[in-house]
A and B are shown apart, each in its own frame.
Chain A
Amino acid sequence: MKKILLSTVFTAGMLLANQNTGCGLGSMLIKDQNTVLMQVIANTTNGTSGNQTFGITSGTLGCEKPATFVMNEQLLNFVASNMDSIAIDSAKGSGESLNTLATLMNVENTDTFKQNVQANFSNIFASKDLTSAQLIDNIASFAI
C-alpha cells in the first residue's frame, strides 16, 4: 500500500513516496521541489510511509529478478534503492554501500571484492539502462 508521506520533519512540503521506485540508475534521486511557503505552513508532524514487518520493503515490486545470483529479497531491495550510491562507491573502490553490498552478497574477502568492482567498473556498469537485477548479475560475474 503506497502512502503519501507527510514531509519528514517540516523540511519538505508534501513529498510523495516514490511511486515508481525504479530498478535503474537515477530513479531514486527525485525529490519534489518545495517552496518556502510550504516549509512554513507544513512544518508539522513527522511522517513517512513504512512497512510493518522486517525484511520487506516496498519499491522493487516491478523489478525483474537477477538471473544467475541466488535470490535474496534484502539484497534486491538494497540494490534497487541504492544504485546510484553503489555506482559511486564502485568507481571509488570504497564506501559504505559497497561494504553493505559485500555483506549481503556473502562475499568472503571484502577488500578483494572492492578492488575487483573498481577494476571492472566499465564492465559492470556497461550501460546507462542497467537494471538492479543486471547489476547484481554483473557484479557476481565480474567481481566475485
Chain B
Amino acid sequence: MQYNLKIKGLLLALLFVSNLFSNNFSQSIQKLSNDKYWHTLLHFKNGESQIDSNTFFLHINGKNNPLLELNATISNLEHPLFKDDNSTYCKFPARRVWIEKNFNTLNIKKQTCTKLDDELKSINNINTISLIFPTTHINSPASMFGHTLLRLDNKNKDYLSSYAINYAAFTNEKNGFVYAWQGLTGGYKGKYSIIPYYKKINEYSNMENRDIWEYELNLNKNEIKNLIYHLFEVKHHWSKYYYFNKNCSYEILWLLQSARNNLNLIEKFNYKTVPIDTIKEIYKSNLISASNFRASKQKILLKYYSLINDKELAMEFYNTIDKSLLKNITTSEKKYILNFSMEMLRYDKTKSNITQDKYLRKLLKILSLRSLLGKDNELFISKPKNPVFVHGTNKVAITYHKKNINLEFKPNFHSPDDLDFGFIQGAYIDFFKLNLNINQNKELSLEDISIFNIKSYAKRNTIFKPISWNVDLGNEIFLNNKHYSKIKTSFGVSYGNNNFLNSILIMNNLRYKNNFYYSYGINYFAQYSLNNSHSKFVVDSKIEKINSKLYKLYDLFYVQNINKNLNFKIGYKKKLYSNYAYLGLSYYFD
C-alpha cells in the first residue's frame, strides 16, 4: 500500500516535471517561432510567407503561421516521413541547422543527403560572394532601373567560371503587352536559378553593352554556408513576381539576410524595390568590401578607336581586311587597329549586320594577323562614378513663381532637371511624377501627372549611330487651360561630348479630351554639365503646331547641387498661355 502510494507520488511528480518541461519547451518554441531568422528562412513578412508554392510548407497553414510551420518542421525532423534525400533533414538544411542550434534536446534522426553533399562539393571552393550590378544600357534608359544578382567567387578568383545566382520570372509569353501587364500584377512565377557567370557576362557586357559593377561582400565562410543551405531549400519553389517591389533585387535580399542574421534589408523595401536602392542599403549595412568595374564591349571598342591615330585607315582596314594597309605603321598602332577590328566585327555579328560566313572569314584573318604581334598593351578605361553614390530615387521639389507654389513628387527615378552625377548623361526615366500647384489664393490644383516619361538621348559617334527618342504618357494642361490625357513620342538624333549633350527631335503628340488632338513639332534639347556633373545648364525648346497655329515653348534653367541630395534650381519657362521666371529646391531621398 505504502509502496503503491510512493509510486503514485513519484509518477505524479514525474508528470509534473515533464509537464513543466513540456510547457517550457512549448514556450521556447512559441518564442523562437517569432525569431527574426526563422521568419527570414520562411520569407515571412507582413503576416505571411512570400513564397507561393505549397510544397515549401510542411504544415498546411505554414504560409500564414510560423509557429505551426516550426512545430511541423521539428516533428518531421524527429519522426521523418521520408528517408534521406526526400527527408526534411536533407531538403531543408538551413531550417535544420537553425533548429539544431536552438533546441539541443531534440532527437533529430540523421539522414544521408547525397544531393546536398554533391551541391556542397561543387561549391566548396567558394571564397567570397559578390553582388553584381549590370548598369545602364547606353541606348535604353529603362535599363537604368537595372538588375542585381549574386556571384559565388571561386578560390582563384576566376570569375568567368564562377557561378551566379539569379532571380527571374519564368514565362513563355511573347506578346509585349501581356508580358508587361503580367509582370506588373504578379502573373509570373519568380524563381532562383544557378548559372555560370560567363553567361551573364555574355548577355550584359558582350550583347547588350552594359557596364557591370561587381561588389565583393564581406560574408565569412559560415555565412556563405548559411546562404547556400537556404538557397538549396528555396530554389525549387516560386514566388509571384512583381516588377515594382518583389523583383530580382528584392529576392536577392532574402538570401543575404539568410547569410547574416542581423541584417535589416527586406524590411526597407515595401512598395518599390529599385536595384540601386538595394545596393545602397547593402552598402550602408557595411557588407561591401571592394568594388570592381567591368567595362562593356562597346566601351572597349570605343577606347581602342580613340587610341588609333589614323582612323580612316582603321575603317578602311576593317572593311577590306587588306593587310598591306598596315605595312608602314608602328606595331602599337597595328595592334590598336586589329583589336578595334575584332571588337567591331563582334559588334556587327551581334547586330546581325554580317553573315556567319563573312564573319568567320574576317575573324580568322584579323586574329591571325594579331597573333603575330605579341602581347597587348594594358587598356586603361576610366571608371565612372560608383552608383552607390547617386542621388536618392525619391524626389520632392518646391518651385516658386509669380506668387504660385509648385510641388513635385516622384518615386522614380532620374530626369533632365536632376544632376547626372553617377548616371549616364542622356538616359532619363521617370515614373508616376505628380505636379501640384498652389496659387496666390491658396487654392490647390493638379498641374500634371506623368505615368512614365522615358528619354533616351544617346550620342552618336563615328561608330555607333543610335536613335534618340522620348515617350511620355500622362496628363497635362493643354488648350484653354484644360486637362488632357497625352501620349507623346519623339524621335531624333543626339551629338556631344563628355559634358555637352545636344539633341534634335521630331515630336508627335496625341492628346485626348472628348476628342483626339494630334500635333507635331520640333524639339531642341541641350544641356551642359559643369564641375563634374555637380551643376548644369539646360535648354529645352519646342515649336509645336497646334490647330494650324505655331507655338513656341521653352524651359531654360540652371541646376546646382548643395549636397548629394539637395539641388537649387533657377529658370525661365514659356508655356502655352503664360511665361515666368522661377526658383526651386529639390530634395532626394532613398
Contacts and interface: CB of A to CB of B under 8 A. Distances in A.
Contact of B199 (A81, A90, A94): A81
Given A53-B119, A55-B122, A92 B140 contact: no
A119 B506 CA distance: 54
Contacts of B160: 78, 82, 96-97, 99-100
Interface in B364-410: 364, 366-368, 370-371, 374-376
Contacts of B166: 48, 50
Contact of A48 (B119, B122, B193): B193
Interface in A36-79: 36-55, 57, 74, 77-78
Contacts of A100: 158, 160-161, 198
A61 B471 CA distance: 43
In this complex, the interface size class of chain A, counting residues with CB under 8 Å from chain B, is: 35 or more
B74 to A, nearest CB: 27
A3 B169 CA distance: 11
Given A6-B169, A6-B179, A36-B467, A44 B163 contact: no
A26 B471 contact: no
Contacts of B235: 52
A10 to B, nearest CB: 4
Nearest to B195: A50
**Chain A's interface: helix, strand, loop or mixed, by majority?**
loop
B246 to A, nearest CB: 11
Contact of B174 (A14, A30, A33, A99): A14
Interface residues of B, number: 82
A81 B169 contact: no
Interface string B241-257: 10100011000000000
Contacts of B526: none
A121 B368 contact: yes
Interface in B167-209: 167-174, 176-177, 179-180, 182-184, 188, 191, 193-196, 198-199, 202-204, 206-208
Interface in B428-484: 454, 456, 467, 469, 471
B241 A45 contact: yes
Interface string A1-36: 001101011111110000000000111111101001
A112 interface: no
B136 to A, nearest CB: 9
B360 interface: yes
A26 B161 contact: no
A4 B203 contact: no
B70 interface: no
A118 B198 CA distance: 22
A51 B349 CA distance: 27
B196 A77 contact: yes
Contact of B184 (A37, A39, A44, A121): A44
B391 to A, nearest CB: 21
Interface string B190-233: 01011110110011101110100000000000000000000000
Contacts of B176: 13-14, 37-38, 41-42
A14 B184 CA distance: 17
Interface in A91-144: 91-94, 96-97, 99-100, 103-104, 118-119, 121-122, 125, 128
B140 A94 contact: no
Given A57-B195, A121-B371, A88 B159 contact: no
B204 to A, nearest CB: 7
A121 B70 CA distance: 61
B203 A8 contact: yes
Contact of A36 (B119, B163, B339, B469): B469
A90 B198 contact: no
A91 B207 contact: no
Interface stretch (B142-150, B276-284, B527-535, B556-564): B142-150
A100 B158 CA distance: 6
B351 interface: yes
B371 A57 contact: no
Contacts of B146: 9
B147 A33 contact: no
Contacts of A92: 339, 370-371, 375-376
Contact of A90 (B161, B346, B371): B371
B356 interface: yes
A13 B178 CA distance: 13
A34 B72 CA distance: 50
B123 interface: yes
B350 A31 contact: yes
A93 B364 CA distance: 15
A93 B195 contact: no
A41 B177 contact: yes
Most buried by A among B119, B168, B172: B168
B539 interface: no
Contact of B142 (A40, A84, A121, A125): A40
B346 A104 contact: no
A121 B227 CA distance: 43
Given A11-B208, A29-B350, A82-B198, 7 more contacts: A38-B176, A41-B177, A50-B194, A54-B122, A92-B375, A99-B158, A118-B374
- The 7 A-B residue pairs with the shortest CB-CB distance in the complex, in nearest-first order: A50-B193, A44-B183, A121-B371, A45-B183, A91-B367, A128-B360, A41-B176
Interface of B: 119, 122-123, 134, 137, 140, 142-143, 145-147, 156, 158-161, 163, 166-174, 176-177, 179-180, 182-184, 188, 191, 193-196, 198-199, 202-204, 206-208, 210, 235-236, 241, 243, 247-248, 338-339, 342, 346, 349-352, 356-357, 359-361, 363-364, 366-368, 370-371, 374-376, 454, 456, 467, 469, 471
9 contacts: A8-B208, A14-B174, A41-B176, A44-B184, A45-B247, A47-B168, A50-B168, A51-B194, A96-B160
